[in-house]
Amino acid sequence: MKYIFYLILFILPATTFGQTSERPWYVPDHYKLQFAGNIGFLSAGAGYLHGHDKLETDFMVGYLPKSIGGDDIISITLKSTYSPWKIKTNSDYSIVPFSIGPYLSYSFGSQFDTLLPNEYPDGYYWWATSLRFGAYIGGRVTRDLPGNINHVALYYELGTYDLEALSYLQNMDYLSVSDIFTLALGVKIGL
Amino acid sequence: MAGLILLVSACFEYNPNQIILDSDEKDLTVKNLQKIQAEEAPEDTMRFIFMGDTQRFYDESDDFVNKANSVKGLSFVIHGGDISDFGLSQEYKWVNKIMSKLYVPYLTVVGNHDLLANGRKVYKKMYGESNYSFEYGNYKFIMINTNSREYDFNGKIPDLNWLQNEIEDNPNDLNIIVVSHVPPFDGDFDPELEHDYADLLATHPKVVLSLHAHTHSFLDKEYYNDGIRYFVTTAMLHRGFSLIKLWDNGLEIEQMEF
């Protein structure tokens, strides 16, 4: 949990800049805290808005404690979310009915390799055990706020990753789509 | 309520390398051995299926179970390793779910793919030790980890001291079958230990068979011309397995397709 504390320390000064227009370019547009989704039991991170505010790119740091996941695993993730439509319900709330995005996640640990170690001939194992490429679809509900924090959103994502997707594609009799998709829930704080 | 919590928790995955197992997915070697040994061994011919390399071939593995369940008189099934493909607990769970539909209990040896990423920890938690032995009827089975390359050929895998002790610890003078994933004549077996392994088996008259998987093809021969029969079973991908029949002074191996 210690790293989450450091992350909050990193985030806090940014929120004190207040108005959007006064923020230096490098200060993130939003922060996220996510539960599950194969990038940690909890992951926290920051991101930027671009592409006419329809594209978000986030950097997340995730943690899975041994007591929950059988092993302590820290991971870092780069994810992009494309949300083509936004529906305004009333003055305070809006809904993003559909989002889609890819992610690349790296898990730290001596048992995970990025390059094939020397004891193996070329191509012996074709994937990196430390890196997972995944994708998800999702949606969110946003509430606009007055003051320094511009809005707060709750989001969900249904995601899978390369190795599970491959397993499904080669076993469409035994496995079903629900076997490979799992749920993630998160909070986004927009500045 | 407990059911709901279980259902909800199944919806979430925290890391592909997480190791979260249900209670009926733990210590399966001990549990399945208890089930096997609760049944009296057949007095005349004992039958078991030897198969391997389920890896990510769930459709084929499911078909295998259907075929295996039509074979009468089995005492158990031995999985020759490479239970998983990527060493992920999700894969282990899928394979265990399939293998649990067999009408007899199954046992495993660990394969090289099972040792990848967190697979080593998953195997330990789901099955138990990677070197173990058991007796059934007139036979002693010695199950050993021979995936030398996964340990960078450190000279300790397979553990030949342990193997020798197991072979010599045979007070009832049972016939001995040694089971492992990588055959000694394969490039993934520590070349420094290949001939020590073969000699160890050949110099003990009670050893009758060395069983393997890994190569994804059948092989049945006295590889070192020393009286020890080496048998390799093919992969689920190639839709084949082996039916082994044992009696007091002989055995027969049938290569099967499904």
Q: Which residue has the tokens 């082994």?
A: B244
**Do residue A36 and residue B121 have CB atoms under 8 angstroms apart?**
no
Residues in chain B: 258
User: Closest approach of chain A CAs to the CA of B167, in angstroms?
Assistant: 30
What single string gives the DSSP state of each residue in B210-223? EEE-SSSS-EEE-T
Choose, out of B15, B60, B62, B63, the residue to mutate when testing the contact with A (most A CBs < 10 Å).
B15
B61 within 8 A of B83, measured Cβ to Cβ: no
Q: Is residue B131 pLDDT above 90, yes or no?
A: yes
Question: CA B22 to CA B17: how far, in whole Å?
Answer: 16
Question: CA B244 to CA A163: how far, in whole Å?
Answer: 34
Tokens of B117: 């990423």
Choice between A177 and B5, residue whose per-residue pLDDT is larger: A177
pLDDT computed for residue B156 by the predictor: 98
Longest pairwise C-alpha distance within chain B: 62
**Do residue A167 and residue B12 have CB atoms under 8 angstroms apart?**
no
User: Closest approach of chain A CAs to the CA of B84, in angstroms?
Assistant: 11
* A-chain residue closest to B16, CA distance: A38
* B-chain residue closest to A172, CA distance: B59
User: Closest approach of chain A CAs to the CA of B177, in angstroms?
Assistant: 30
Question: CA A163 to CA A100: how far, in whole Å?
Answer: 19
Task: Tell me which chain A residues have a C-beta less than 8 angstroms from the C-beta of B11.
Answer: 182-183
Task: Tell me which chain A residues have a C-beta less than 8 angstroms from the C-beta of B14.
Answer: 36, 38, 40-41, 64, 68-69
User: Closest approach of chain B CAs to the CA of A75, in angstroms?
Assistant: 9
- Which one of A38, A112, A170 has the shortest CB-CB distance to B14? A38
Tell me the pLDDT tens digit for each residue of A50-92: 998 899 999 999 999 999 999 999 999 999 999 999 999 877 9
Q: Is residue B82 pLDDT above 80, yes or no?
A: yes
pLDDT computed for residue A91 by the predictor: 78
pLDDT computed for residue A3 by the predictor: 53
pLDDT computed for residue A19 by the predictor: 47
pLDDT computed for residue A18 by the predictor: 46
A99 within 8 A of A155, measured Cβ to Cβ: yes
Distances in Å between the Cα of A173 and the Cα atoms of B10, B35, B64 are: 21, 30, 14
Tell me the pLDDT tens digit for each residue of B86-108: 999 999 999 999 999 999 999 99
Tell me the pLDDT tens digit for each residue of A91-143: 799 999 999 999 999 999 999 999 999 999 999 999 999 999 999 999 999 99
Task: Tell me which chain B residues have a C-beta less than 8 angstroms from the C-beta of A161.
Answer: 16
pLDDT computed for residue A24 by the predictor: 86
Tell me the pLDDT tens digit for each residue of B210-249: 999 999 999 999 999 999 999 999 999 999 999 999 998 8
Question: CA B224 to CA A159: how far, in whole Å?
Answer: 51
User: Closest approach of chain B CAs to the CA of A37, in angstroms?
Assistant: 6
- Which one of A41, A173, A174 has the shortest CB-CB distance to B14? A41
Distances in Å between the Cα of A91 and the Cα atoms of A6, A30, A53, A95 are: 35, 21, 19, 12
**Do residue B58 and residue A129 have CB atoms under 8 angstroms apart?**
no
Mean pLDDT of B66-95: 98
- Which one of A125, A161, A171 has the shortest CB-CB distance to B58? A171
Question: CA B125 to CA B14: how far, in whole Å?
Answer: 18
Question: CA B156 to CA B147: how far, in whole Å?
Answer: 10
pLDDT band at A2 (very low <50, low <70, confident <90, very high): low
Any chain A CB within 8 A of the CB of B11? Answer: yes
Any chain A CB within 8 A of the CB of B121? Answer: yes
**A110 Cβ contact list (under 8 Å, min separation 6):** none
A132 within 8 A of A161, measured Cβ to Cβ: yes
Q: Is residue B3 pLDDT above 70, yes or no?
A: no
pLDDT band at B2 (very low <50, low <70, confident <90, very high): low
Tell me the pLDDT tens digit for each residue of B134-189: 999 999 999 999 999 999 999 999 999 999 999 999 999 999 999 999 999 999 99
- Which 8-state DSSP code applies to residue B40? P
Q: What is the CATH number of the domain that holds A11?
A: 2.40.160
- Number of domains chain A is built from: 1
Architecture field, domain B14-257: 4-Layer Sandwich (3.60)
Any chain A CB within 8 A of the CB of B125? Answer: yes
Task: Tell me which chain A residues have a C-beta less than 8 angstroms from the C-beta of B87.
Answer: 129
A50 within 8 A of A29, measured Cβ to Cβ: no
Task: Tell me which chain B residues have a C-beta less than 8 angstroms from the C-beta of A41.
Answer: 14-15
The size of the A-B interface in CB pairs under 8 A is 103
- Asked whether the bond before A84 is cis by omega within 30 degrees of 0, the reply is no
Phi-psi region of B226 (alpha: psi -120 to 50; beta: other; left: phi over 0): alpha
Choice between B30 and A7, residue whose per-residue pLDDT is larger: B30
**Do residue A75 and residue B15 have CB atoms under 8 angstroms apart?**
yes
Q: Is residue A13 pLDDT above 70, yes or no?
A: no
Range of the domain at A129: 2-190
- Which one of A73, A125, A167 has the shortest CB-CB distance to B17? A73
- Which one of B15, B61, B153 has the shortest CB-CB distance to A64? B15
Q: What percent of chain A has pLDDT over 90?
A: 82
- Least confident span in A20-24, B92-96, B248-252: A20-24
Ramachandran angles phi, psi of B230, nearest 5°: -105, 125
**Do residue B152 and residue A175 have CB atoms under 8 angstroms apart?**
no
**Do residue B58 and residue A125 have CB atoms under 8 angstroms apart?**
no
Q: Is residue B32 pLDDT above 50, yes or no?
A: yes
**Do residue A69 and residue B89 have CB atoms under 8 angstroms apart?**
no
Question: CA A37 to CA A21: how far, in whole Å?
Answer: 33
